[in-house]
Each structure stands twice: as structure tokens, then as C-alpha cells.
Amino acid sequence: RAARLDPANPEPLYYLGHVGLSLGGDDGEQIARRGLVPAMALNPDYRDAWELWSRLYRGPRERRDMIAALARHPGNRTANLRRAQLLVELRRYGEAVTLLDSLACQGDGDLVLRSLQARALFAAARDSAGSEAYGQAVALADRDTANLLWRQLRGIAAPRERATFSATPPSGRAAFLRRFWARREPDLSTPGNERLGEHFRRLEDARQHF
């Protein structure tokens, strides 16, 4: 009723999302989506609505619903970055790359953007461009407070490499990542590291099927 009385205010919808999360189960998740998706359609930066929605199951339909909600804010950087993430998850790599390229052209070169850009390009088998974007992300590794770059590769890291990374300060992480991939270079006579593209495509397969 509060949402109907004040349709431009995301707050009632946000709390409806909390109610659904508290209820749990399939019914609770449906209620949570009924609140959080419209709330983000009104304000894509509203509180922690994105983080709450991210806890819910999301299949293709749920992803498409959120993409449509975020698309109502084409000039919002956060909305566009999240749309790109969901497009990658749907394997709509061309659309994701176009959206990310538009953000990069605006002078936005942060680590999250470059990392997602590399992921989309590698998945689309555009390895040369993917390697360039990944290299730009690695150059910013000292700012990676969420260990995003490490989480992408820790599944293939040896125990000694895991221990070394844990002991490496932020200032040394870019060098660590470059050495990590240099050790896995399958053919030194080629201009790029083929293992990078193969690794990211395997990650996409794992995300889709497991």
C-alpha cells in the first residue's frame, strides 16, 4: 500500500524485499524480487538492494528482469556495469562488450570494469583484446581489495602459490599475477598467452553448468 501511495519512492519496495528474504523459500524469494527489482528500477544505487537481490536464485528470466530494470538508467555507471555483468552471465557477450566499451570510452578504467571486459572478450574468443583488458586490470591489482583477480584463478593455483599470494602485499600483486601466468605460457613463440583465454572460457562453462 505504501508503494502504491508513493510510487516514486523505492523505500517501501526495498523493505518488501527484506520481508521476502526473511520468509525464505521459493515464496519468500518471489516476494523479495517483487520488491527489489522495482526498487532498483527506480534507483539502481538504492542502499544494498543489489547485494540483497544477488543472494536470490537467478535464472535467465530473473536476469532479464533485472537487465530491463537497470536499462531504465542508461546514463548511470553502476547500472550499466551491472547490466554488463548480467549480459555476460547470459552469454550475450557482444552486448556486454559494447556496453563496457562505452564505459571505457568515458575514461572509466577501474579494475572491476577491465576485469569484466576481459572476461567477456575471452568468452567471445577475442583473446587479443581480452589479454589487453586483463593486462590493464592486473596493472591495478594493488587496488583489488576484494581479491577479484585472485578469485578468478585460485582454483588452478598450487598450494605454494596460494601461500605466496597470501603473503604478498598489495603493491606486489601485479607482479605476482604476471609471474603466475608466465609460468603457464604454453608457447613462447606466440605473441599472446593462450592459457588465459582457455582458462576464462573454462570458467564460463563451469559457471553455466555447475
- The predicted-structure confidence for 126-151, as pLDDT tens digits, reads as follows 999 999 999 999 999 999 999 999 99
Cα separation of 124 and 175, whole Å? 27
CA atoms within 13 A on the CB side of 48: 5
- The predicted-structure confidence for 154-184, as pLDDT tens digits, reads as follows 999 999 999 999 999 999 999 999 999 999 9
Cα separation of 130 and 136, whole Å? 10
Cα separation of 103 and 6, whole Å? 33
Position 203 pLDDT exceeds 90: yes
Q: What is the pTM of this model?
A: 0.91
Kindly report the number of other CB atoms within 10 A of residue 109's CB atom: 15
Position 108 pLDDT exceeds 60: no
Judging by beta carbons within 10 Å of its beta carbon (0-12, 13-18, 19+), is residue 22 exposed, middle or buried? exposed
pLDDT value, residue 105: 86
